[in-house]
Structure 1
Amino acid sequence: MGKNSDVTWKQDHPSTLLSNAVQRANRAVKQAMSHPEQQLIEQAYQSLSHAEHALDNAVQYEEHMDTVQQNQQQLEVLKQQLQHTTEQQ
């Protein structure tokens, strides 16, 4: 296989997809925290849900578990932050 297929494989790997989903959720939660409007809060919850599904897939894949665990911890922090933001509403 050539170099391009290695890059594609890395982009499609469950741990990479999880990392990307957690990064998107992080941005969405931060935006909802700074501008706690209903639409942004809903988007943050959707991003968290998507990241949780990516986490489930990555855990089933059973590779790069250190990265998966780090992302799982970050996801828990994000959920707590968003919950705190919604409680202040």
Structure 2
Amino acid sequence: MAKHSGESWKKDHPSTLFGYSVQKADRAVKQAMSHPEETTVGHASNSISHAENALLNAEQHNEHMDIVEQNREQLEVVKEQLQEVQEIVED
């Protein structure tokens, strides 16, 4: 099976991109929780920002909104976890 080339699949499947972005943000936050340092927190924050942008794009396409909503809820949990880690790093 051929891989999708370039960026085209991202434009065609914004809800999938959002789901992947949330998974990546979740992994980045878990890494920051394991190693609470400025670098890992910054990486997690960037991943969350990317996921938030992917959310906006997915909402604009208005497809698979049930999946988008589930991923939005997961993104909120991830953001709360990052906030907790940021407080640890700041102390």
Q: Establish whether TM, by shorter chain, passes 0.5.
A: yes
Q: Quickly name the TM-score band, shorter chain normalised.
A: 0.7 to 0.9
Task: Give aligned-pair identity as a percent.
Answer: 55
1:39 aligns with 2:39: yes
Whether 1:87 aligns to 2:87 is yes
TM-score (norm 1): 0.87
What's the C-alpha RMSD, in Å, of the aligned pairs? 1.6
For structure 2, which runs of at least 5 residues remain unmatched after alignment?
none
Tell me, what secondary structure is at the counterpart of 1:36? coil
Question: What's 2:54 paired with?
Answer: 54
Query: Are the equivalent residues in 1 in contact too, given 2:36–2:88 (CA < 8 A)?
Result: no
Q: Which is helix-richer, 1 or 2?
A: 1
11-20 or 36-45: bigger deviation? 11-20
TM-score scaled by length of structure 2: 0.85
Partners of 1:76 and 1:66 lie apart in 2 by: 16
Write out the 4+ residue segments of structure 1 that deviate beyond 3 Å after TM superposition: none
Shift of 1:67: 0.4
Task: Tell me how far apart the structure 2 counterparts of residues 25 and 88 of structure 1 sit (CA, whole Å).
Answer: 19
